[in-house]
């Protein structure tokens, strides 16, 4: 039995898990109590999330957590962004929510720009112009099924929906709200003029609440608070980057996506920033995540998924093979929409190489190498764009999220970007979620910031460019 603590649900595009956390002085301890798949449903050629199944898993996770920690103090859900659930008057979904990988939004950006010019949209929201945004999904709804929006009592984004199912108020937390591209970057409220301009001024828009707020109690467990930590997973991850004040640091939150950027207090709403695809997402304590969405481990995950259907695959063996494979034979533009949809990834890579006159990878190891090198090159391009926009160099690149465990990728990134990489925590998202809960309840020890606690709780690893030795720990413990 464990002492009092917090429960984070972290829902990712491929899996979700329930993580218990508790503090001993300035050190956060964690234990995973439940893990489950986040299943996509394919129906009539469209992709949906199975929120009913996810909710079941969340209640199961809660039971497991309570069994291990009866004195649980709070719970909070975080998830990927932009996707939303439309609720009827009884608070039930009007339909399963679409996945942002669904192709229905493809023509919608052009439609949107016919109503509001891209420069104006960016000036108001600060959000990058990419088709996954809630805005373009809603425009697709307006065309295909306008009645569903009129019937919707409420629109909640994924994590906010589950916080509500657990017992919290039906609100949207600000880090999540920003990703819709309908929140004003200055006021941090829904942009009423944009809603009108797009014909989206329905009564379904919920209140936007700040990060780190108690929004209710768990149904059936009134002693457990429901907290809106940061509903957006990337906001949790960046809140937990163990950066040292005074360094010029950037981060890559590296999971299915690679979110590369910096934390700021003021926006950079220039044409150059818009054209380079940098966004301004709302973060903890009024911060801004000035970052760019790059494809992360998605293509690799899809290859692994395909190979695992043929038999067991050991990542260790694959990584060793990739290390031994010849370097820099083929560059794949992983941000090409060609790689965006799920399925048949190894075959698609081969076809891509043929089409582009590139040497076709002859083994799984070679394919992994091509993917990782291509990622590192994309990181370099984005990092140089970032430095140009900031008019200042970056001296430390923090890699957080699952990708921090990928040693070959961390070293390739340091080499290719010519920058010191500090890798870890791999569990940044869960740590951010848990520590925002702890802070909300006033449980962080006196004199410690959230980032101080992360730095003391985790061993991170330093990769210098072109180093031949094994990575060194960067620990403050």
Applying CB under 6 A, the site for ligand LFR has a residue count of 13
**CA-closest candidate to residue 214, choices 417, 28, 18, 76:** 76
Nearest approach in angstroms of CB 340 to ligand LFR is 12
Q: Which stretch binds ligand LFR (CB under 6 A): 55-63, 230-238, 244-252, 261-269?
A: 230-238
**188 Cβ neighbours under 8 A, 6+ residues apart:** 174, 177, 178, 208, 282
Q: CB of 163: closest distance to ligand LFR in angstroms?
A: 16
Contact 53, 4 (CB under 8 A): no
Give the CA angle between residues 311, 315, 317 to the nearest 5°. Answer: 90
Question: Between residues 48 and 80, which has the closer beta carbon with respect to ligand LFR?
Answer: 80
| Comparison of 293 and 366: residue with beta carbon closer to ligand LFR | 293
Only one of the segments 114-122, 170-178, 227-235, 268-276 lies at the binding site for ligand LFR (rule: CB under 6 A); that segment is: 227-235
Residue 134: CB minimum distance to ligand LFR, A: 9
Q: How far is the CB of 139 from ligand LFR (least distance, A)?
A: 17
Choose the catalytic residue: 102, 160, 233, 335. Answer: 233
DSSP string across 208-268: EE-SSEEEEEETTEEEEEEEE--SBHHHHHHHT--PPTTS-EEEEEESSEEEEEEEESS--
- The CA distance from 397 to 420, in Å, is 6
CB nearer ligand LFR, residue 411 or residue 429: 429
Task: By CB under 6 A, tell whether 335 contacts ligand LFR.
Answer: no
Query: Strand 74-79 vs strand 6-11: parallel, antiparallel, or unpaired?
Result: parallel
Among positions 100, 162, 251, 298, the unique one binding ligand LFR when judged by CB under 6 A: 100
Told to check if 402 binds ligand LFR by CB under 6 A, we report no
CA distance 5 to 216: 17
Which tokens belong to 419? 């920058």
Q: Is 82 in the site for ligand LFR (CB under 6 A)?
A: yes
Smallest separation (angstroms) from ligand LFR to the CB of 30:
19
Comparison of 225 and 228: residue with beta carbon closer to ligand LFR: 228
**Cβ distance to ligand LFR smaller for residue 80 or 161:** 80
**Nearest approach, Cβ of 401 to ligand LFR (angstroms)?**
9
Cα gap 149→144, rounded to integer Å? 11
Q: In 10 A of CB 98, how many CB atoms?
A: 18
For the chain, report the end-to-end CA distance as a whole number of angstroms: 26
Question: 127 and 188 in contact (C-beta within 8 Å)?
Answer: no
**Residue closer to ligand LFR (CB basis): 139 or 353:** 139
80 binds ligand LFR per the rule CB under 6 A: yes
Which of 180, 409, 199, 198 has the alpha carbon at shortest distance from 190? 180
Q: Tell me the per-residue interface mask from 183 to 222 with ligand LFR, x by CB under 6 A, - otherwise.
A: ----------------------------------------
Of 163, 293, 433, 440, the one binding ligand LFR (CB under 6 A) is: 293
- Is the Cβ of residue 48 or residue 100 nearer to ligand LFR in the bound state? 100
H helix and E strand count, the chain: 17, 20
81 lines the binding site for ligand LFR (CB under 6 A): yes
Residue 95's closest CA among 107, 108, 83, 106?
Answer: 83
In the annotation, is 233 catalytic? yes
Q: What is the DSSP annotation of 81-96?
A: SS-EEEE-TTS-BSSP
Asked whether position 49 contacts ligand LFR by CB under 6 A, the answer is: no
Please give the Cα distance from 40 to 343 (Å, whole number).
12
Asked if residue 252 binds ligand LFR (CB under 6 A), the reply is: no
List the one residue out of 252, 266, 264, 260 whose CA is nearest residue 278: 260
Q: Which of residues 254-283 bind ligand LFR (CB under 6 A)?
A: 255-257, 259
Closer Cβ to ligand LFR, 49 or 257, answer by number: 257
Q: How many CB atoms lie within 10 A of CB 192?
A: 13
234 binds ligand LFR (CB under 6 A): yes
Interface positions, 111-140, toward ligand LFR (CB under 6 A): 132
The nearest distance, CB 250 to ligand LFR, in angstroms, is: 15
Shortest Cβ 76–ligand LFR spacing (Å) = 16
Token pair in block for residue 233: 């997973």
Catalytic residues: 233
Using CB under 6 A, list all residues that contact ligand LFR. Answer: 80-82, 100, 132, 232-234, 255-257, 259, 293
């Amino acid at each position: 039995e464990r002492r009092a603590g917090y429960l984070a649900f972290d829902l990712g595009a491929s899996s979700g898990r329930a993580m218990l956390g508790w503090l001993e002085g300035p050190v956060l301890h964690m234990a995973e109590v439940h893990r489950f798949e986040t299943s996509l449903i394919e129906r009539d050629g469209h992709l949906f999330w199975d929120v009913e199944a996810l909710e079941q898993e969340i209640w199961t996770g809660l039971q497991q957590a309570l069994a291990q920690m009866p004195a649980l103090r709070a719970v909070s859900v975080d998830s990927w962004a932009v996707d939303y659930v439309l609720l009827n008057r009884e608070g039930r979904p009007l339909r399963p929510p679409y996945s942002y990988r669904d192709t229905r939004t493809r023509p919608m950006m052009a439609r949107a720009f016919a109503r509001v010019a891209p420069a104006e949209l960016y000036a108001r929201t600060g959000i990058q112009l990419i088709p996954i945004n809630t805005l373009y999904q809603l425009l697709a709804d307006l065309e295909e099924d306008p009645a569903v929006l009129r019937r919707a009592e409420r629109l909640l984004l994924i994590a906010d929906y589950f916080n509500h199912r657990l017992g919290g108020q039906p609100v949207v937390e600000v880090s999540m709200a920003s990703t819709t591209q309908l929140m004003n970057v200055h006021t941090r409220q829904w942009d009423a003029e944009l809603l009108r301009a797009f014909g989206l001024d329905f009564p379904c828009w919920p209140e936007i609440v700040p990060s780190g707020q108690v929004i209710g109690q768990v149904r059936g467990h009134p002693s457990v608070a429901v907290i809106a930590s940061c509903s957006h997973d990337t906001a949790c991850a960046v809140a937990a980057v163990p950066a040292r004040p005074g360094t010029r640091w950037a981060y890559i939150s590296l999971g299915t996506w690679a979110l590369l950027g910096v934390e700021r207090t003021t926006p950079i709403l220039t044409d150059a920033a818009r054209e380079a695809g940098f966004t301004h997402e709302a973060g903890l304590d009024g911060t801004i995540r000035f970052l760019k969405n790059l494809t992360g481990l998605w293509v690799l995950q899809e290859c692994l998924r395909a190979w695992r259907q043929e038999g067991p695959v050991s990542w260790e063996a694959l990584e060793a093979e990739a290390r031994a494979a010849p370097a820099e034979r083929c560059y794949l533009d992983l941000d090409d929409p060609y790689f965006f949809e799920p399925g048949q990834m190894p075959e698609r890579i081969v076809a891509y190489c043929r089409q582009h006159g590139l040497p076709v990878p002859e083994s799984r190891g070679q394919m992994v190498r091509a993917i990782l090198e291509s990622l590192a090159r994309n990181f370099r391009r984005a990092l140089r764009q970032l430095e140009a926009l900031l008019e200042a160099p970056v001296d430390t690149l923090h890699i957080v999220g699952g990708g921090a465990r990928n040693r070959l990728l961390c070293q390739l990134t340091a080499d290719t970007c010519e920058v010191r990489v500090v890798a870890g925590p791999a569990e940044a998202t869960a740590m951010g979620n848990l520590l925002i809960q702890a802070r909300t309840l006033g449980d962080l020890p006196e004199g410690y910031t959230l980032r101080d606690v992360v730095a003391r709780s985790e061993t991170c690893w330093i990769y210098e460019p072109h180093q031949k030795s094994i990575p060194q720990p960067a620990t403050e413990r």
